[in-house]
Chain A
């Protein structure tokens, strides 16, 4: 089945720890995205990548880092510098053409203990 997988589904982090969220797609998409979703707010873009070995900051990149070493994978690291990391994190991908849909993974819920 083609699609986007995210792991883990639930993640707990202690204060001061870095954690990495996984996102993998087998849709052969060039573009990948990370969003954050908080209750009562719309989705906000953290980082996006239009092609392998390239990525750009979104609207709320502070405290996060990414890499894009493979077309299929776009991991997100939530660093200790992110002051309020508890949220629902969604990964998405698209072909990268401006007229194409974005498809989303099932999400990872991160909770800071």
Chain B
């Protein structure tokens, strides 16, 4: 059974700092890994999708990496802003590679202080 762990559970940083969020998973037989953002009381916004054949994916100030062999992914946020404050979730397909069933981590609550 796929398990996903996100560390740290919460992170507070001053504005402008670069930061890294971590995601680890137990079964490396995955098609892809997806990073999401969730604001309080809202749905999930897809940030980045990394295919298993890729090592990195970038969107603006966000950069996500994937190391399947070690079961790890990182989300790097450059020059953080107060508007980046949210919960960040990673998700991978369940064992067997089907994208129909995702397993989510519990998320990292990020607070960026002005």
A binding-site residues for B, Cβ under 8 Å: 4, 6, 31, 33, 40-43, 45, 48, 50, 58, 88, 90, 92, 94, 96-107, 109
- Contact string, B89-114, partner A, CB cutoff 8 A, digits 1/0? 10101000111111111110000000
Given known pairs A106-B43, A109-B41, the reply for A42 and B103 (CB within 8 Å) is yes
Q: DSSP majority for the B interface?
A: strand
Whether A31 pairs with B100 at a CB distance below 8 angstroms is yes
Interface centre among A41, A102, A107 (most CB of B within 10 A): A102
Residue in B36, B51, B99 whose CB lies within 8 Å of A94: B99
Interface range on chain B: under 10, 10 to 19, 20 to 34, or 35 or more? 20 to 34
Given known pairs A98-B99, A102-B34, the reply for A42 and B46 (CB within 8 Å) is no
- A16 vs B4: C-alpha distance in the bound complex, in angstroms? 35
- A50 vs B98: C-alpha distance in the bound complex, in angstroms? 11
Known pairs A42-B106, A43-B102, A102-B91; list 10 more (Cβ under 8 Å).
A31-B100, A42-B89, A48-B100, A90-B43, A98-B32, A98-B99, A99-B32, A99-B99, A102-B102, A104-B45
Interface centre among B32, B44, B46, B49 (most CB of A within 10 A): B44
Residues of B26-84 whose CB lies within 8 A of A: 31-32, 34, 36, 41-46, 49, 51
Residue in A31, A40, A92 whose CB lies within 8 Å of B106: A40
- A40 vs B89: C-alpha distance in the bound complex, in angstroms? 12
Q: With a CB–CB cut-off of 8 A, which chain A residues contact B102?
A: 43, 45, 102
Q: With a CB–CB cut-off of 8 A, which chain B residues contact A104?
A: 36, 43-46
- A25 vs B99: C-alpha distance in the bound complex, in angstroms? 19
